Amino acid sequence: MAIMPNIAPTQRYSTWGQIAAYFDGDGSLSVRKVAVGVPFTLGLTIDFIDQSRKQILMIELFLKQRGIMTGRPHFNGGAWRVSVGGLREVKIVLRRMLPHLCKKSVEVAAALVYLDGKSTGNDFQDVLANEVREGNREKLGRSVDLPWTRPEGLRKAIAYSVAFPRKRRALTKAEEDALVEQYRTGSIGQRKLAKANGLSHAIVRRALARRGLASKPS
């Protein structure tokens, strides 16, 4: 692996204990509500943040040398940051840091229990809310009702996506031609045409309007 320029060997992070100490002070565990129509699971991202770009590059180098994929370091909100977002990578980094953590040990332990499918989303959110009250976490954001484990939530998300397929935002020319042909040759209205093709009414309306076709009764 190529050595990152301007970082001397003595300046590089060399242990997970160092990375954990950095995370305890200037890192965060970001929690997002993963939704397909409605939230079903919680997604976790590990963020390392610093005013110094060099510090962030040193953390990126440490992680990549250990096979951990990261996002591209970037400047946002007045500071540099690098993030770990893949499920495999998040679990590895959290497990490696946990024995060395102090302030963030409770939320990281709870995160691993949730990611391993051994607690519900509500259980995990309760832990995070308590950590906010204890002053160990700055914020949580709006909680959502997730009375199931992560694997159960994933199964519910799949079932939801099958029952309520996501509406496509754009049509190919061939798809638009087919819609126009159906509309011209049949007595079906725009809403029924949209439902029959798994599209939103707005997409169908815009496609037909581009062809100068007036609306029929739905």
What string of pLDDT tens digits covers the 218 residues of the chain? 444 556 666 668 999 999 999 999 999 999 988 665 568 889 899 999 999 999 999 999 999 999 999 999 999 889 999 999 888 999 999 999 999 999 999 999 999 999 999 999 999 999 999 999 999 998 877 888 999 999 998 888 777 766 666 555 577 776 777 777 778 766 678 888 887 777 788 888 888 888 887 665 55
DSSP-derived 3-state class of residue 159: helix
Q: How many other C-beta atoms lie within 10 A of the C-beta of residue 94? A: 23
Cα separation of 82 and 156, whole Å?
31
DSSP-derived 3-state class of residue 46: strand
Evaluate the CA torsion angle 182, 186, 192, 195 in order and state its sign. Answer: negative
Predicted TM-score (pTM) above 0.85: no
For residue 133, give both structure tokens: 């009250």
Q: Which residues touch 15 (CB under 8 Å, ≥6 apart)?
A: none
DSSP-derived 3-state class of residue 216: coil
pLDDT for 1: 41
pLDDT for 123: 97
- What angle is formed at CA 158 by the lines to CA 45 and CA 117, rounded to 5 degrees? 50
pLDDT for 178: 72
Q: Convert 76-92 to b/e letters by CB count within 10 Å (16 or more is b).
A: eeeebbbbbbeeebbbb
Cα separation of 132 and 136, whole Å?
6
Cβ(72)–Cβ(26) under 8 Å? Answer: no
Place of tokens 């509406």: 167
pLDDT for 216: 59
pLDDT for 6: 62
pLDDT for 12: 84
Going along 51-157, which residue ranges are E strands? 74-76, 79-84
